[in-house]
Amino acid sequence: MSSGEYVCTDCGSVIGPVLYVPRRNIQIPIDIKKISLKFLLYKLNKETIIYSKNIKYKDRIKQYIESLAKDLDAPGYVLNTSIKVLESIDKRKIQGKNPRVVAGTIFYLVSNRYGLSYDKNNIAKRLNISKLSIRDTAVYLKKICKELR
């Protein structure tokens, strides 16, 4: 046994050169719903988006398009055209896709059609999605919507 090691007086086992004091786990009661809601509102630039099961899928996409247009200071005609394009798409064709991805893709394609250069990265960061999902969904939406070609 070397110097500096601690030995248990009951069983005689060598504990080691450093004695660690046991720590107490203090649990603070936190309301998870409040924290997650605050985080979501912060991420969406404090825009309130209704999270309920009763909201329609296209209305949720419309809300994301409106918040994106507001964040990027897009002209009104880009917002109006994006909403018209959304209304022209059959909901069965885009059902199952992430509404943020669909909103970002529609906004990106419409703004490119008007010659405005909004970067995919910037749009993706605002909506907390991947720029690659915008790219992949753009190919699909161009196939199903003649207004985006």
Q: For tokens 């059609």, what's the residue?
A: 113
In angstroms, the Cα distances linking 37 to 42, 51, 55, 58, 119 are 8, 10, 17, 22, 28
* CA gap 86, 79 in Å, rounded: 11
Structure tokens at 115: 């010659």
**Tally of CB atoms within 10 A around 65:** 25
What are the sequence ranges of the domains in the chain? 54-148
Contact 44, 82 (CB under 8 A): no
Query: Which one-letter DSSP state was computed for residue 55?
Result: S
pLDDT values of the chain reduced to their tens digit, one per residue, 149 residues: 455 566 667 766 666 666 556 666 666 565 555 566 666 666 665 455 545 557 889 999 999 999 999 999 999 999 999 999 999 999 899 999 999 999 999 999 999 999 998 999 999 999 999 999 999 999 999 999 988 88
Q: What is the pLDDT of residue 140?
A: 95
What global pTM score does this model have? 0.66
String of DSSP letters for 56-74: -HHHHHHHHHHHHHHHTT-
Contact 47, 89 (CB under 8 A): no
Which homologous superfamily is 54-148 in?
A: Cyclin-like (1.10.472.10)
Structure tokens at 128: 């907390």
* CA gap 124, 132 in Å, rounded: 9
